[in-house]
Copies of this chain bind each other. A is one copy, B any other.
């Protein structure tokens, strides 16, 4: 899965730490998701969705290998 978190952050001038606080996870978790090390859980994906007011499909999308 790829995602647009970095861009959505940049549009708001938020750091990874800011976003982490907003969705109540650690900064390292945000970093790992942005870098594609793992996918968020479904509940966390919903938190991003609500925070950015975009559907999950607008934020996350399949990359090549799925």
Does A52 have its Cβ within 8 Å of any Cβ on chain B? Answer: no
List 9 contacting pairs A-B, 8 Å CB cutoff, sorted by A. A39-B41, A42-B42, A42-B60, A43-B66, A46-B66, A55-B55, A55-B56, A55-B57, A56-B57
Give min CB distance, A35 to chain B, whole Å: 16
Interface residue tally on A, bucketed by range: 10 to 19
Q: Quick one: copies of this chain in the complex?
A: 2
Give min CB distance, A26 to chain B, whole Å: 18
Chain A interface (Cβ < 8 Å from any Cβ of B): 1, 39-43, 45-46, 49, 55-57, 60, 62, 66
Point out the residues of chain B lying under 8 angstroms from A41, CB to CB.
39, 41-42
Give min CB distance, A25 to chain B, whole Å: 14
